[in-house]
Amino acid sequence: MTVHHYDDDHNIWRDFNFKNFWRNERNFLKISKFFLSIKKTGTTICGIVFKHGILLASDTRATNGEIICDTNCEKIHFIAPNICCCGAGTSADTENITKLLSNQLELQRISRGKEIYVQTAVSICQKILFQHKGFLSAALIFGGFDFFGSNLFCVHPHGSSEKIPFISMGSGSLAAMTILENNYQNNLSLRKAVLIIQESIKAGIYSDTGSGGSIDLCILTKKKIRIIRNKIFNQKNPIQRFNFKFDIYKN
Amino acid sequence: MDYNGGSIIVMGGKNCFAIASDLRFGIDNFTVEKKAPKIFKINEKLFIGMIGLFGDISTIRQILDYKTSIYSLKKSEKIKPFGFSNMLSNLLYHHRFAPFLVETIIAGLDEKNNLFIESKDILGAKSASSDYATIGTCSESLYGICQIFWKPDMNGEELFKTISNCLILGLNRNCVSGWGGIVHLVSKKGVTSKLIQTRMD
């Protein structure tokens, strides 16, 4: 006699669970408000190649419809010791895809015994996103330094990818791209590259409502990764002019 | 969200936290139950609050009971807040295209009595915070109220006063939440629960 126990956490990527589908369809009018409340990192993320490696930057706002639900969230994810990734789009999707990628790449790294190429990460990511036909709305920027040098890739939600020297994605990408196009040159020094990328994220923060908060930076070079959280910190707490002391409230 | 109604606040203090919810359960505009809290205890230092469709709340509660029991049987220890939060996120994301219509808040103290407050949306994306968190129908106004009254490093009594007053103020202007509130104050010494009175209409 075999004992089966109900455990649906395996095969999370081979089959999502659609049990609630008909229930949600039939009651859509009553529950449509829920779908507005999906946490999005409608954001500005940028990547740029400089002389010694790659620079990635992002803002730190996460929105829930029109309300900001997190003023200081992390959009730069660690994937491998030489690869980092920025994610824009639905927050749950970007977090789960980057988790899955880092797990699979760690297994590959152990079995091959050498460091992974950024192209591998991008190909795995593309395959998953294309399988789901764009319904997993995750736009990602991969940056890393491997045997072939500095690599900067971007992946769009439907599964297309590009390898380019500078890129910006997210809702504030148009504003950020203007600064990058204007100021990019080959063989930038680290200082100039940091200035350019800070200006482009600032442009995204000022002109786009979905981006705001502080700026996070990630510097990827041949020897190491350095993630600087809140390089430009922008969080003014309101001055506590009121010092309320509540009396004992009678129940 | 306002089909069944409800709101929850979590506030963190010095090695303690307080979690409060309202007590109304309704179907659209009709109030069915006036003593339905939405906070559930997992173990002495870990609480979860859920707002949304009540059927989904019951389903998720049963699934979580099952999974935490299996965890404690396999590992001979109670589940910790970080692991529990990951488990819930995976459960919610597994239903990514037909989601459980529930927003959740997890509040707990880990082994070293450090605070752990995380709120999630319907797909399981996490938002950690160190001070306060709110979900529910009046969460937008509660964000503003909590920002004014919250101070860092409050002890148990002050925390209780602050959180009950914030809840009363928030529920005052909201039709779909109300009918009283319940506050659980959790510290390393234990849990104390009190009922508070709000607008009963």
**How close does chain A come to B101, measured CA to CA in Å?**
7
Determine whether the interchain pair A242/B148 forms a contact, defined as Cβ–Cβ distance below 8 Å.
yes
Predicted confidence (pLDDT) at residue B157 exceeds the cutoff of 70: yes
Determine whether the interchain pair A249/B100 forms a contact, defined as Cβ–Cβ distance below 8 Å.
no
Per-residue pLDDT band at A138 (split at 50, 70, 90): very high
Q: State the complex-level ipTM.
A: 0.86
Q: What pLDDT, on a 0 to 100 scale, did the predictor assign at position B200?
A: 85
Reported as a single tens digit per residue, the pLDDT across A78-87 is: 999 999 999 9
Kindly report the CA angle at B37 between B35 and B40, in degrees rounded to 5?
145
- Residues B169-197 have a mean pLDDT of 91
- Residues B12-28 have a mean pLDDT of 92
Tokens encoding A203: 């442009």
Q: What pLDDT, on a 0 to 100 scale, did the predictor assign at position A5?
A: 43
Q: Which residues of A are catalytic?
A: 43
- Residues B178-189 have a mean pLDDT of 92
3-state secondary structure of A86: strand
**How close does chain A come to B73, measured CA to CA in Å?**
14
Q: Would you tell me which residues 24-53 of chain B have a C-beta closer than 8 angstroms to some C-beta of chain A?
A: 28, 52-53
Q: What pLDDT, on a 0 to 100 scale, did the predictor assign at position A247?
A: 60
Q: Where are the beta strands (DSSP E) in A25-184?
A: 40-41, 45-50, 53-58, 62-64, 67-70, 76-80, 83-90, 138-146, 149-155, 161-163, 166-169
Q: Give residues with Cβ within 8 angstroms of A8, minimum separation 6.
A: A17, B94
Give, in order, the Cα–Cα distances in Å from B38 to each of B47, B73, B105: 10, 27, 11
Are B47 and B40 spatial neighbours (Cβ–Cβ below 8 Å)?
yes
- Residues B51-80 have a mean pLDDT of 93
Q: How far apart are CA B113 and CA B129, in angstroms?
A: 16
- Residues B29-36 have a mean pLDDT of 89
Q: Which residues of A touch B52 (CB under 8 A)?
A: 34
| Torsion-angle region of B41 (φ positive above 0: left; ψ -120 to 50: alpha; else: beta) | beta
Beta bridge partners of A49: A54
Cα nearest neighbour of A17 on chain B: B95
Are A229 and A209 spatial neighbours (Cβ–Cβ below 8 Å)?
no
Determine whether the interchain pair A34/B98 forms a contact, defined as Cβ–Cβ distance below 8 Å.
no
Determine whether the interchain pair B121/A38 forms a contact, defined as Cβ–Cβ distance below 8 Å.
yes
Predicted confidence (pLDDT) at residue B29 exceeds the cutoff of 90: no
3-state secondary structure of B104: strand
**How close does chain A come to B170, measured CA to CA in Å?**
16
Mean pLDDT, chain A, rounded, equals: 85
Nearest to B132 by CA among B6, B12, B46, B21: B12
Per-residue pLDDT band at A6 (split at 50, 70, 90): very low
Report percent pLDDT > 90 for chain A: 57
Q: What pLDDT, on a 0 to 100 scale, did the predictor assign at position A248?
A: 52
Tell me which amino acid residue A11 is: N
Per-residue pLDDT band at B28 (split at 50, 70, 90): confident
**How close does chain B come to A232, measured CA to CA in Å?**
20
| Torsion-angle region of B137 (φ positive above 0: left; ψ -120 to 50: alpha; else: beta) | alpha
- Residues A137-152 have a mean pLDDT of 92
Q: What pLDDT, on a 0 to 100 scale, did the predictor assign at position A14?
A: 55
| Torsion-angle region of A109 (φ positive above 0: left; ψ -120 to 50: alpha; else: beta) | alpha
Are A79 and A117 spatial neighbours (Cβ–Cβ below 8 Å)?
no
Mutate to test the interface with B, among A30, A37, A135 (most CBs of B within 10 A): A37
Reported as a single tens digit per residue, the pLDDT across B68-105 is: 999 999 999 999 999 999 999 999 999 988 889 899 99
- B47-76 b/e (C-beta count within 10 Å ≥ 16 → b): bbbbbbbbebbeebeebbeebbeebeeeee
Q: How far apart are CA B29 and CA B11, in angstroms?
A: 29
Q: How far apart are CA B150 and CA A61, in angstroms?
A: 22
Per-residue pLDDT band at A4 (split at 50, 70, 90): very low
Predicted confidence (pLDDT) at residue A152 exceeds the cutoff of 50: yes
Predicted confidence (pLDDT) at residue A121 exceeds the cutoff of 70: yes
Reported as a single tens digit per residue, the pLDDT across A164-213 is: 999 999 999 999 999 999 999 999 999 999 999 999 999 999 999 889 88
- Residues B153-182 have a mean pLDDT of 90
Q: What pLDDT, on a 0 to 100 scale, did the predictor assign at position A250?
A: 52
Q: How far apart are CA B13 and CA B125, in angstroms?
A: 24
Q: What pLDDT, on a 0 to 100 scale, did the predictor assign at position A226?
A: 86
Predicted confidence (pLDDT) at residue B1 exceeds the cutoff of 80: no
Q: Where are the beta strands (DSSP E) in chain B?
A: 7-12, 16-22, 25-27, 30-33, 39-43, 46-52, 102-109, 115-120, 126-129, 132-136, 181-187, 190-196
Residue that has been written with the tokens 């409230």 in this structure: A249
Mutate to test the interface with A, among B1, B29, B96 (most CBs of A within 10 A): B96
Determine whether the interchain pair B165/A249 forms a contact, defined as Cβ–Cβ distance below 8 Å.
yes
Tokens encoding A112: 């091959």
Q: What pLDDT, on a 0 to 100 scale, did the predictor assign at position A19?
A: 82
Q: How far apart are CA A150 and CA A52, in angstroms?
A: 8
Give, in order, the Cα–Cα distances in Å from A159 to each of A177, A179, B183: 21, 26, 48
Contact status of A20 with chain B (Cβ, < 8 Å): yes
Predicted confidence (pLDDT) at residue B161 exceeds the cutoff of 60: yes
Provide the CB-side half-sphere exposure for A92 (13 A, CA): 25
